[in-house]
Amino acid sequence: MTSPIGSLSHLVTAVSAAAALGATTASAASTWTAYETARDNDHRLTPIAAEAVGGEAARATLSFEPAEQFQTMVGFGGALTESSAWVLEQLPAERRAEVIRRYFDPAEGIGYTLARTHINSCDFSLNMWSLDDVAGDYDLHHFSLDPMRRWVLPLIHQARTAAGGDSLRLVASPWSPPYWMKTNYRMDDGGSLRGEYAPVWAEFFVKFVQAMQDEEGIPVWGLTVQNEPQAHQVWESCLYTPEQERDFVKNHLGPALVRAGMSDVKLMALDHNRDILEVHADASLGDPEAAQYLWGLGLHWYVSNDFEASSRVHAKYPDKPILFTEGCWEGGDAIGAWKHGEGYARQMMGDFRNWVVGFIDWNIVLDQRGGPNHVGNFCDAPVIVNTDTLEVSYGPSFYYIGHFSRFVKPGAVRIASTCGNENLDTIAFANPDGAVVVVVMNETDAPQRVALATLGTIEVPARGIRTYVQNR
């Protein structure tokens, strides 16, 4: 596990330090600010001098064209699971609040504006539960948010406060309906939704959105139909073929949301891996009756690095956004590994170059094992809390994600960019205020040079990432 890196004051200092740095650079570079994270130094989202380096000039150029624009970005975020909530509650209140601020505060943190939570329990819950466990409750008289009140809801409220209230957009996803709605009469081990309960399950979504708003003052910005609809898991899961998901949306869930006045809630199909993105898109978005209820698609990274699948879907359904809704490094081994941070950036760049409009990480915080998880399905997280020592570790993943989330604002657009150095991975955006953001990552073990626009030759350290902001 990585040792604790940085502090809240580190990020606050970065804001003021960047201005001071800019004053000392050459006039051609004075419109830029730069931030660096690198394996071999202590830089972690650290402001650095935005100036050209001396010595041999770069033979390759990194260029961008703000006039050539692609998708509009929705934002960045992470999942507020019961496991994350429980881990954070082991910390003293002040340290818990600091972790949440470092994620969600737009000025002091890395500026998360999206969050995802689970409807009923998921694998990253302390145990299995649903919001209505009374079999045959067709009218949902026993529906209640009570199972969420001990752990999940307080964390959502804390994140909303740190982000500035409704600035945080919440996406909610079910892993399984209650056991009594399933063909296998249990929430785990696959199974499917029983046909006679399809209308009830649709109303369950409506009840959830209403209760979150009316009882908790938490608006639900988006819903996904089903987490990983083609994954038969030993934990909470529910199987849908692409056609079953389409029919549930057009015959039940979509109409139920419209009847309840919830047509503004962003409903997403799929919420699963790239390898099945196109078949689900064709089933749901290719059917006008289903597509009218769908805002877009949710995407995971666990199978396939065929990033271009998103471009192929966008070409066919250009009015339906694709939002990345879950990804993590599985297995609970190599907690805090540097390669995990690099992997986040590589995945984000690959998706963003192919029309994906935003990124939601999986658990924001886990314990030293990569849990708790009620079925032992451990994984890494950007922030790890040792629940024995109460040590808080901000791993490389936290900073690599922050190189995007802190600087690429909601409403930014991806712009055309090219890089002649094949050892660098790059992408560029234009923020709503016109400021250009360029992210440059070097996954090699040697420094890499490239000429950046008006700045001149820059040198990105080995196993490092930089974000350059060209200020207006």
Residues forming the active site: 228, 326
Same domain, 400 and 433: no
For residue 454, the model assigns a pLDDT of: 87
At residue 88, what is the residue type? L
Residue at which a domain ends, from 355, 384, 407? 407
**CA–CA gap between residue 68 and residue 58 (Å, rounded):** 25
Same domain, 152 and 258: yes
For residue 453, the model assigns a pLDDT of: 85
Model confidence, pTM: 0.95
For residue 11, the model assigns a pLDDT of: 53
**CA–CA gap between residue 304 and residue 272 (Å, rounded):** 11
Same domain, 114 and 16: no
For residue 472, the model assigns a pLDDT of: 74
Same domain, 67 and 78: no
Q: What's the average pLDDT block by block, 10 residues per block, for the chain (472 residues)? A: 43 42 40 97 97 94 97 98 98 98 98 98 98 98 98 98 98 99 98 98 99 98 99 98 98 99 98 98 98 98 97 98 98 95 98 98 98 98 98 98 98 98 98 97 98 95 98 79
Same domain, 358 and 449: no
Could you tell me which of 33, 64, 63, 60 has the C-alpha nearest to residue 448? 60
Domain that holds residue 425: 8-71+414-470
Same domain, 53 and 193: no
Domain count for the chain: 2
For residue 404, the model assigns a pLDDT of: 99
**CA–CA gap between residue 393 and residue 333 (Å, rounded):** 15
Residue 443 sits in a domain whose CATH number is: 2.60.40.1180
For residue 42, the model assigns a pLDDT of: 97
Instruction: Let me know if residue 13 belongs to a domain.
Output: yes
